[in-house]
Amino acid sequence: MKPTNASPARHTDRIKQLMTEYHQSHVNRTNQIIHYFCVPLIFWSVTALLWCIKIPVVLNAAVVASVLLMLYYLLKSLKVFATMLIFTAACLALNYWLEAAGLPLLWIAIGVFVVAWIGQFIGHQIEGKKPSFFKDLQFLLIGPAWVVFKFFGLKL
């Protein structure tokens, strides 16, 4: 039976295509290592910045954004969804802990965000290729999944 446009096989093919395209601008080993550190730090810092925006009933903007992000990943692939759910939950838990410890979460997140993006652009300078999100903003969501899958040797 040929997959329809809405079939799980079609979604899996699309996520594989996106991951492959993302990989093409991240083949240099030094750039990959930089990404292993910087992409998770950027992802965490965005959740931390959103954590600081309090919203009645739902806790904060990080919870809302995480639910929407998980929906995106779920529509792409169940395996990507499950993997990124664990990673996102860990980021949110770290935000909770840092805030509960009375640390300046906002300022830590801003500092990490800036330093990690500088690292990213250094990595792409070494690679000699522009970041993928210059072509398609969707790669800002694919990048964290690619890093987690690549770092842990997971396959789609």
**Tens digit of each residue's pLDDT (9 = 90 or more) over 69-92:** 999 999 999 999 999 999 999 999
Residue 13 lies in a domain: no
Residue 54 lies in a domain: yes
CB 116 within 8 A of CB 45: yes
Residue 16 lies in a domain: no
CB 61 within 8 A of CB 50: yes
pLDDT reported for residue 148:
93
Residue 56 lies in a domain: yes
pLDDT band at 7 (very low <50, low <70, confident <90, very high): low
CA-to-CA distance for 130 and 136, rounded, in angstroms?
A: 12
Residue 4 lies in a domain: no
Residue 17 lies in a domain: no
Residue 6 lies in a domain: no
The residue type of 73 is Y
In this predicted model, what pLDDT tens digit does every residue of 39-66 receive, in sequence order?
999 999 999 999 999 999 889 999 999 9
Residue-range definition of the domain harbouring residue 37: 31-152
Residue 8 lies in a domain: no
In this predicted model, what pLDDT tens digit does every residue of 116-154 receive, in sequence order?
999 999 999 999 988 888 888 899 999 999 999 988 888
Number of structural domains the chain divides into: 1
The overall pTM is greater than 0.85: yes
